[in-house]
Amino acid sequence: MADTTEQASEVVEAWLKQDDAIDPKKAPKLQKLLAEVPRQELIAIVERQNAVRAALALRLLPRAQSIAVFDALDAKHQADIIDELGNTDVYEFFDELDPEDRVALLDELPAEIADRLLRSLTKSKRDVTGVVLGYTKGSVGRRMSPEVPEILPSMTVDDALSTLRDTADELETIYTIPVTRSDRRLVGVVSLREIFVAQSGVLIESIMQDPIYAHASDDAEETVRWFLPLDILALPIVDDSHRLVGLLTWDDATDIVEEADSEDSARAGGTEALQQPYLSTPLLKLVRSRIVWLLVLAVSALLTVQVLDSFEGTLAKAVVLSLFIPLLTGTGGNTGNQAATTVTRALALGDVRTRDLIAVMWRELRVGMLLGAVLGSAGLVLATLVYGLDIGIVIGSTLFLICSISATVGGLMPIVAKTVGADPAVFSNPFISTFCDATGLIIYFLIAKSVLGI
């Protein structure tokens, strides 16, 4: 059975890649093959297609399957596919999305298309979508589900079960249930399990617990970083008046963390996050995600050239010094980026806060000195064996100082970036690369002039 499914998946993907259109005579055969492919594999297949082929595959799928696959795609990919689908399909897919997923898609679409899609919704669905749209991007409110059951403390468990049963189709989750007063103020939380096992007639207020909650205006990434380790399925979200406005589900929280980690990882590598699968990303988007960083690093490299030009006379008197430039600049950059990556991750996890700047600086200085002592000793021995003691002292001393300074600066930059409101991953690496290259060369040539007397 597994072999049959795998074969069907391979045939489907091969047919989709043949062209951006399918021979009508082959369509029934392709539909039959699609029916044999499990949903998770269908999602993977559609994710790897460009917008035209992905739209084609969605049209060939049964309605329920097609909607489920579309819902599982990234918002960027959904936005690309929207242009290739007919109006009927677009409205149908959009209508079936959860409110927070609709908002994520709307954020990726041109204003006129977003407005047309919103007007296609029923008033009730447009209203709940508008609740999420009312919060700023990056906030918890923007990612919450606004559809929550109305469970009061004075209800019995039988009343609560009846309410949940009547509204379950409209709710994204019913496993973590917020309890509110009649004015929607949050007073507690109870799980479906606790309601289910309670004796008939027991009041909700007797089994509910004190709520753990977040405010709708709170930063989404910071919130989910402390929410996920709590191992609860959903987090109540309240407004400034402590009224319940929605729930942040565990799966939406993991999506937020994945997006944030992907963005940090991409920026640490000198590019922008694609926000959709690689193979389905248009070529120009790939170029745009990389070109800005390359231009920034190219301009910063001019400073290194300027430093080399300033010490041209020193190099002319001791040409052997030029052989070690790649080693020293590479070591400084790597040391600084290691420190920056470690501290950036610690900031994201909440292990380090901006007020810990002095502690981080002192810690990274000691780490850098130990790294410099090890690398400097190795450099001293190897350079001495080949080029003599003077050159060995220059290389060893430079490696020690470069590692010490680079680790300290690399550890400080993410905290400085966080303090001024910049993205630590964006701010740190270009600055560290430029600083370590230029500063490392200045240290190198000053030590060389002192030791060699040139």
Q: What is the CATH number of the domain that holds 134?
A: 1.25.60.10
Is residue 93, in this structure, part of any structural domain at all?
Answer: yes
373 shares a domain with 309: yes
The Cβ of residue 40 has, within 10 Å, a number of other Cβ atoms equal to: 10
**Domain check: are 358 and 244 in the same one?**
no
Please indicate, yes or no, whether residues 386 and 329 belong to a single structural domain of this protein.
Answer: yes
Q: Say how far apart CA 14 and CA 26 lie, in whole Å.
A: 13
347 near 424, Cβ under 8 Å? yes
Question: Helix/strand/coil (H, E, C) string of the chain?
Answer: CHHHHHHHHHHHHHHHHHCCCCCCCCHHHHHHHHHCCCHHHHHHHHHCCCHHHHHHHHHHCCHHHHHHHHHHCCHHHHHHHHCCCCHHHHHHHHHHCCHHHHHHHHHHCCHHHHHHHHHCCCHHHHHHHHHHHCCCCCEHHHCCECCCCCCCCCCEHHHHHHHHHHHHHHCCCCCEEEEECCCCEEEEEEEHHHHHHCCCCCEHHHCCECCCCEECCCEHHHHHHHHHHHCCCEEEEECCCCEEEEEEEHHHHHHHHHHHHHHHHHHHCCCCCCCCCHHHCCHHHHHHHHHHHHHHHHHHHHHHHHHHHHCHHHHHHCHHHHHHHHHHHHHHHHHHHHHHHHHHHHHHHCCCCHHHHHHHHHHHHHHHHHHHHHHHHHHHHHHHHHHCHHHHHHHHHHHHHHHHHHHHHHHHHHHHHHHCCCCHHHHHHHHHHHHHHHHHHHHHHHHHHHHHCC
Task: Verify that 289 and 265 share a domain, yes or no.
Answer: no
Domain final residue pick, 213, 234, 269: 269
> What pTM value is reported for the model?
0.69
Residues 123, 128, 134, 137: is their CA dihedral positive or negative? negative
How far is Cα 10 from Cα 12, in angstroms, rounded to an integer? Answer: 6
Single out the residue in 107, 138, 169 at which a domain terminates.
138
Is the domain of 260 the same as that of 301? no
Q: Is residue 103 part of a domain?
A: yes
125 in the same domain as 95: yes
Question: Do 55 and 198 belong together in one domain?
Answer: no
Give residue 427's pLDDT: 62
Range of the domain at 379: 283-452
Instruction: Provide the pLDDT for residue 144.
Output: 93
Is residue 144 domain-resident?
Answer: no
- Domain-embedded: residue 147: no
Answer yes or no: is 277 within a domain: no
Q: Is 346 a domain residue?
A: yes
| CATH number assigned to the domain comprising residue 360 | 1.10.357.20
Do 199 and 342 lie in a common domain? no
27 & 163 share domain: no
Per-residue pLDDT 10s for the chain (454 aa) are 445 555 556 656 666 665 555 555 666 777 777 777 888 888 888 888 888 878 878 887 888 888 888 888 888 888 888 877 766 777 888 888 888 888 888 888 888 788 888 888 888 888 888 888 889 888 999 999 998 989 999 999 999 999 999 988 888 888 899 999 999 999 999 999 999 999 989 999 999 999 999 999 999 988 998 998 888 889 999 999 999 999 999 989 998 988 888 777 777 666 777 777 777 787 887 788 777 777 777 776 777 777 777 777 777 777 888 888 888 888 988 898 889 888 888 887 778 888 899 999 999 999 999 999 999 999 999 999 988 999 999 999 999 999 999 999 989 988 988 888 777 766 666 677 777 888 888 899 899 888 888 7
Question: Which CATH number belongs to the domain containing residue 229 in this structure?
Answer: 3.10.580.10
Which among 224, 246, 269 is the end of a domain?
Answer: 269
Domain annotation covers residue 275? no
Give yes or no: residues 295 and 435 share one domain: yes
Number of domains composing the chain? 3
Indicate whether 306 and 448 sit together in one domain: yes
Question: Do residues 419 and 335 both lie within one domain?
Answer: yes
pLDDT recorded at residue 280? 75
Q: What is the pLDDT, as a whole number, of residue 24? A: 57
According to the model, what pLDDT value does residue 25 have?
61
Q: Is residue 143 part of a domain?
A: no
